[in-house]
Amino acid sequence: MANKHLTYTFDKMMQRRKALKKILQWSVVASIAPHITVGKSRSLKIGIQNGKVFSGGKLQEGFVGITQDNTLQFSEVSLPAERTLEAKGQWVCAGFIDILGDNSSYPEKTYRIFEKYKLADGVTTVLQMHGGSGNPAYFYNYFKSKPHYTNYGVSTKVMVIRMQYNTVGSRKRAIEQALEAGALGVSHSLEYQPTPYQEVVAYAYLAKQYDRPLFLHLRYSSKEKELEGVKEAIQIAKDTDVRLHIDHLHSTGGTFHMEEALTLIQAAREEGVSITTCIYPYTYWATYLHSRRFAEGWQQRYQLDYSDLTVVGTGEKLTKGRFYQLRKQMGILVAVPEGTMPFEKTIDLALQTDFCMIGSDGGIERTPRANSHPRGAGCFATAIQHGLQIGLSNEKLLAKVITLPAQLIGKPLAQRGDIQQGYIADLVIFDPKQIQGKATVANPNQFSAGITWVIVNGEIAYHQNELKASRGQAILY
């Protein structure tokens, strides 16, 4: 009887210990994921395991979950999920943010093509901050009922507003209306539409008043004058205290004097000026043949000739006669030769700084072969690949495609751009050894390699070269 009683007591003790152990285990899970309760009905919708997770500026081991309400959970242990994605050997990051997408020519007809190539490049949020819309109220109202592969948003396109209104006062009122409608910033291209300094300052003050960034394509791109454009931008930021962003510095402002341009920007930042810039990871630029960039004297400015120009999407090399024939048409994009902006003298120098991020300045608008720079489809995969090749630290590289763009835009992206508890579930999962932009000048319409999954607002939108869902949302103030 005594032995039987001891055995019974021991068994009860072991049962209590097992029960207590289970309670403690679930207490740990609950402390890590307080919104998850026991039971399948409240399990995670998606779990991502065994990947390297970019969270809080660091690549680290961890488990990423997506809740039923499409927000993120991040924990050190695996959590129950209805579906689990295996990410061994891959990086799990917040989705890439393209601040310089370009789909301004006819977005109502082309936006789905534009967005699908961004999505296939790991981009979950595409913002048209270099250009955008002259009427953001119309833009957001028109697109709110449409399906979107990616999140989307626009800046106020001053170039359009200046063509619509004749006075600075009426232009300012139009810009204010755009900002009140939710536009993410103010953008202007001084090279393509030269504007008096004081007028630009007036627009910068409006951006400052509404706490939005001012995006500038600088005034000069020639060897002799490009640094004057950089100095002008810095002075605008000093005079107005606006958050100022210089578009694609390596093609406008630092093509010939990148080291000096970066030194000027760094010095201004040390004085407290809020100024950033971006690049795209290609050694050649492309723009429209009808634009001011090809005005009289372009051969001397860029040290190029007619035969150096290639029509994007066809590979046609121009002659003098063909140049003048196509220049009469609107919307013909030509690219200059590879190496026009050498990596080691331009792009790589900019990537070493803490204030330079990635922006595509492009977008694919037609199929099967678009007249678009390859950066419209392969910018971010190419940037990751190149950054790794030159030895940029993983964390610094990822910050340039995720963290810095989110910080620049500010409040509208406050719950995106990182993997943190409760953040919106925009994610990209990719193999750092395989990621590669495949788009070329001859054929820009190619999905990037090495990107396994892209998740937008909690739903799998892309998986291994296949489009899965349209869950993109408007990004606006």
Amino acid 105: pLDDT:
83
Polymer length in residues for the chain? 477
Residue 180 neighbours by CB distance under 10 Å: 12
Q: Are strands 275-279 and 244-246 parallel, antiparallel or unpaired?
A: parallel
Distance CA 353, CA 317 (A): 36
Q: Find the helix or strand (DSSP H, E) in which 377 lies.
A: helix 375-389
Single pTM value for the model: 0.90
In order along its 477 residues, the chain shows pLDDT tens digits of 434 343 333 344 344 444 433 333 333 333 333 333 333 446 999 999 999 999 999 999 999 999 999 999 999 999 999 999 999 999 999 999 999 999 988 999 999 999 999 999 999 999 999 999 999 999 999 999 999 999 999 999 999 999 999 999 999 999 999 999 999 999 999 999 999 999 999 999 999 999 999 999 999 999 999 999 999 999 999 999 999 999 999 999 999 999 999 999 999 999 999 999 999 999 999 999 999 999 999 999 999 999 999 999 989 999 999 999 999 999 899 999 999 999 999 999 999 999 999 999 999 999 999 889 999 999 999 999 999 999 999 999 999 999 999 999 999 999 999 999 999 999 999 999 999 999 999 899 999 999 999 999 999 999 999 999 999 999 999
What architecture does CATH give domain 93-285+336-467?
Alpha-Beta Barrel (3.20)
pLDDT tens track for 92-146: 999 999 999 999 889 999 999 999 999 999 999 999 999 999 999 999 999 999 9
Amino acid 104: pLDDT:
84
* 476 contacts 127 by C-beta, under 8 angstroms: no
Task: Give me the residue spans of the domains in the chain.
Answer: 93-285+336-467, 286-335
Q: Which two tokens stand for residue 99?
A: 């601040």
Amino acid 42: pLDDT:
67
Amino acid 444: pLDDT:
95
Order of strands, sheet of 333-335, starting from the edge strand that comes earlier in the sequence: 286-288, 333-335, 310-311
pLDDT tens track for 151-169: 999 999 999 999 999 999 9
3-state secondary structure 168-187: HHHHHHHHHHHHHCCCCCEE
SS3 label, residue 6: helix
Burial class (CB in 10 A: 0-12, 13-18, 19+), 388: middle
Which residue's structure tokens are 């009289």?
A: 296
State CA 319 to chain mean position distance: 36
Q: Are strands 275-279 and 451-456 parallel, antiparallel or unpaired?
A: unpaired
